[in-house]
Structure 1
Amino acid sequence: MQPKKKIYIALKFIIPAIIFLISIGFVSKKQEEKLCKKIVITIENQQGNFFINEGDIMDKVTKNGREMVVNLPFDNVKLKDIEQRIEALKFVQSAQVYRDLQGNMLIDAVQARPIARVFNPVGKDYYISDRGEILPVSERFTARVMVLSGSFFRPYLEKNLLIDQAGKDLFNFIQFIEKDKFWSAQFAQLEVNKSGMINIYPQVTKQIIEFGSVADYSEKLSKLKIFYDKILPDRGWNRYERVNLQFKDQIICE
C-alpha cells in the first residue's frame, strides 16, 4: 500500500474522532456554563444598621436549607420566585436576582433604613423607615434613631405612616429632622397626641418644647434656634422648664 494512501486512511478515522472529542468537550463546557456555580450577595443601604445579613438572604434562597441551588442548572432555578422570597423579609426594601456570564447567581438587596423608633406601651415597638413603612424591631441590632411616642401612632402600627395626610405631614417633619445634622442631634423624643400636637424632649437641656402641630414647622424651628443661640446662653441652659412655640412670632418661656 502506498504511503499516501495509508496517511489518507489514517486521517479518515482520526479526524472524525478528534471532531467527536472536541464536540463532547464543547457540549460539556456549555452544560457547565448553564449550572449555578456560586451565589454572590450584595446588601445596599445599610449605613451602619445591620438588620439583615447574607445568611438571612441565603435562608430565603434555599428555603432554610431544604433546596440546594449551587450546581443546579439555571433552567431549574426560578429566579423570580427567589426574588419574591427575599423581598418578603421585612427589612428588605427591594431585591434583584439574576445570573452573570460566568454562571454565578447575583443577588442585589436594598435594606430598608429606619429613621425613627415608635415606643408602643401596649405591645412591641416599631421602626419607621425612610419610606414611611412600619418595620419590626430586631433582636440582632438596635438603630440609634429618634424615639416617637403618643396615641397618634396607634392607627398606623403594622400599616404605613403615609396612609393619610396627617401621617404624611408628620412623616415629612420627622424626615426633615433626621436629615438635618443640628436638629437630629438636639431632639431625643417626639411625643405626639391623637390630635397631632407635638411635645419635643431635647437630648441635653431639660426644657419640654411645646411645638404644637407640624404646620409652619420651619418657622417654629427658626424660633427655637433663636432660643438656643440667644436666650439660653444669656439666661442659663436649665433656667426654663417649658418653651412654647405655637404662637406666631413669639417664644413663650416658663
Structure 2
Amino acid sequence: MKQWQNILIKILWSIAGAALIFLFVIAWKAKVAKKLSQIQVELVGETTKALFMDENEITQILKDQGVVKGTIVERINLTSIEQDLEKIRWIKNAELFINNQQLLEVKIQQRIPIARVFTVSGSSFYIDDQGWRLPLKQLTVLRLPVFTGFPTDQDNLSAPDSLLLKEVLFFSNTIKTDSFFTAQIAQVNIGSNGDFQMVPSLGDHTVLIGSVDNLADKLNRLYTFYKKVWVQSGINAYQVLDCRFDGQIVALKKGMEPIQYAPGMMPFQNSALATMENGVSSMDTATATIIKDTLKKVVPIVIKKEAKIVENKLANKPAVKVVANKKSTPVKINKQIKKKDNKLNNKSFINKKKSAKALMPTKITSKNNNNN
C-alpha cells in the first residue's frame, strides 16, 4: 500500500512540474509576442549633459537598426545593439534592457574630454581621461586646456608619438585635479624635443615646464612663486618662469635678455677653448663673431728683464774716504741677480764674509761749538 502511495506522489509532482513549465512557456511566448511600448534614452556617468550625442541621435541610431516603438520584443537582440553602440567613439558604455511594461531603457555613458590637442598641420582632436582620441563633435561649449604642436594627426601612432600622447594625458590628468591650474593654464605648447611650455590665462609670461617628470612638484613650486613673489611684483613683471630645475624657480624679468651660451660653454664646466671654438662654427655669423671674441686666448704679458751679472767686488773695493766739511753721497750699488727657476742660488752665500755696502761719513764737530 505504501509503495502505491509513493508512486502516486511522484506522479503528482511530475504533473505539477510539467504544468509549471507549460505555464512559463505560455507566459514567455505571450511576452515575446508583445511589442515595445516606448524607448527611453538616458545619459549617465560624470555628467548628464549632452557633449557629443544627445537622446535624439541615439534614438536615430536604434531606428537605423530596426528598433522602434511597436517592434516585437522577440526580434530585438540587446547584446548586439550594445556592442554596436560602444563602437562609437563618443560612447564609453551602453546598457539596454526591457522591463515588464515592454519599455526599452537605454543607458549611455559618454566619454568626457579633458584636453584638446592641435597638431602641427592645424587639425585637432579631443582626448578623454583614458587616452581615447575623440573627433571634434560637440553640442556644448567645452573649456579645456589646449595642447599645440602634436607631431601627427594619424590614427596609428608611432612609438614616440604614442609616448608623447601619454605624457599629454598625464599632464591633463594632473592639472584636472587642481582647480587653480585648471583655470590658470590656457595653452600648453609642445616643443620639437618633447618639452612643454605653458601659457597662462592671467599674466604675460611663459612657463617652461620641460618634461612631465616631477610635474606635481613643479606646479607646487610655481604656485608658491605666484603666491609669494608674482602677486607682489606685478602680474606682468616677468616674461619667463623656468621650472625645469629641481627645488627652484628661475624668473626672468621683462626687459632682460636670457644668458646664452655657446655649445659646450655651460657655467662651471671645464672645457678646452679649442672645443668651444669648434662649437661656435655651427652658429650664425653674427652670434659666432661675438662669441669668438670672448673665446680669444689670453696671452700673458711677459716682461723681459735683461739681467746683468755684476761681479761682487765689494770685498776688494777700498773704503770710501771721508773729507771734512764736504757732503758725501753714498755710493749706490746696483745688484741684479739672475734667478734660476725662481729660486735663489743659495750656494753663492756659503763661505762668504759679510761686508758693508757703504760707509757712512763720521760726524765732525765744529770748533765754534767747542768754544761755546
TM tier, smaller: 0.7 to 0.9
Cα distance in 2 for residues equivalent to 1:35 and 1:86 = 22
Q: In structure 2, do the counterparts of structure 1 residues 47 and 79 end up closer, same or farther at CA, with 3 Å as the change threshold?
A: closer
- Residue 231 of structure 1 is aligned with which of 219, 229, 232? 229
Q: Give the Cα separation in 2 of the matches to 1:118 and 1:92.
A: 20
Which of 136-145 and 198-207 deviates more?
Answer: 136-145
Displacement, 1:173?
2.1
Change in Cα spacing, 1:31 to 1:221, as seen in structure 2 (3 Å) is closer
Shift of 1:68: 4.8
Larger fraction in helix? 1
Q: 1:36 maps to what in 2?
A: 36
CA distance in 2, matches of 1:150, 1:231: 31
1:160-171 map, 5 Å: 164-171=162-169
Task: Quote the Cα distance in structure 2 between the aligned partners of 1:146 and 1:164.
Answer: 19
Residue pair 1:161, 1:167 contacting (<8 A) in 2 also? no
Between 1:107-116 and 1:71-80, the stretch displaced more is 71-80
Q: Are the counterparts in 1 of residues 241 and 251 from structure 2 also a CA contact under 8 Å?
A: yes
Indicate the structure with greater strand content: 1
| Worse-matched range after superposition: 240-249 or 167-176 | 167-176
Does the CA contact (< 8 Å) of 2:118 and 2:150 recur in 1? no
- Counterpart of 2:100 in 1: which secondary structure? coil
The alpha-carbon deviation at position 50 of structure 1 amounts to: 2.5
Structure-1 residue corresponding to 2:155: 158
User: Would the aligned equivalents of 1:34 and 1:73 in 2 still touch at CA under 8 Å?
Assistant: yes
SS in 2 for 1:86: helix
* Structure-2 change in CA distance of 1:96 and 1:194 (3 Å): farther
Q: Given residue 82 of structure 1, which amino acid in structure 2 is its aligned partner? A: I
Amino acid at match of 1:74: V
Q: Does 1:80 align with 2:71?
A: no
- Per-residue Cα deviation, 1:128-169 (whole angstroms, up to 9, x for no partner): 1121110011253331111111135x26x5358998554334
- Paired residues for 1:105-184 under 5 Å: 105-138=104-137, 140-152=139-151, 154=152, 157-158=154-155, 164-184=162-182
- How many aligned positions are there? 226
Decide whether the 8 Å contact of 1:118 with 1:126 is kept in 2. Answer: yes
Shift of 1:51: 1.6
Q: Which amino acid in structure 2 is aligned with residue 53 of structure 1?
A: D
Distance of aligned partners of 1:133 and 1:101 in 2 relative to their CA distance in 1, 3 Å threshold: same
Distance 1:144 1:219, change over 3 A: same
The Cα shift of 1:117 comes to: 0.7
CA spacing shift, 1:233–1:246, aligned 2, 3 Å: same
Distance change in 2, residues 1:123/1:189 (3 Å): closer
Aligned residues of 2:184 and 2:200 also touching (Cα < 8 A): yes
Q: Does the CA contact (< 8 Å) of 2:43 and 2:49 recur in 1? A: no
| Structure-2 separation of matches of 1:70 and 1:179 | 43
State the distance in 1 between where 2:92 and 2:156 align: 15
Structure 1 residues 201 and 249: alpha-carbon distance in aligned structure 2, compared to 1, 3 A threshold: same
Given that residues 120 and 150 in structure 2 are in contact (C-alpha distance below 8 angstroms), is that contact kept between their aligned partners in structure 1? no
Give 1:196 shift: 2.2
Give me the whole-angstrom Cα distance separating, in 1, the residues matched to 2:245 and 2:173.
Answer: 24
Q: Distance in 2 between matches of 1:120 and 1:167?
A: 11
For structure 1, the residue ranges without an aligned partner over 5 or more in a row are 1-25
TM-score (norm 1): 0.79
Distance in 2, Cα, partners of 1:98 & 1:159: 35
Tell me whether 244-253 or 159-168 shows the greater mean CA deviation: 159-168
Q: Give the direction of change, closer, same or farther, for the CA distance of 1:166–1:125 in structure 2 (3 Å limit).
A: closer
Which residue number corresponds to residue 50 of structure 1?
A: 51
Alpha-carbon distance in 2 for matches of 1:123, 1:207: 24
2:101: which partner in 1? 102
How many Å separate the matches in 1 of 2:38 and 2:138? Answer: 30
Moved more, 143-152 or 213-222: 143-152
Q: Which amino acid aligns with 1:172?
A: F
Q: What amino acid sits opposite 1:106 in the alignment?
A: E
Aligned partner of 2:188 in structure 1 is 190
Larger relative contact order (CA 8 Å, sep ≥ 6): 1
Which moved further from structure 2: 207-216 or 141-150?
141-150
Q: CA deviation at 1:225?
A: 0.9
Larger radius of gyration: 2
1:185 and 1:120 map into 2 onto residues whose CA distance is 23
Q: In the TM superposition, what whole-angstrom CA distance separates every residue of 1:101-124 from its partner, at most 9, and x where no partner exists?
A: 221111111011011111235253
Q: Structure 2 stretches of 5 or more lacking a match?
A: 1-25, 253-372
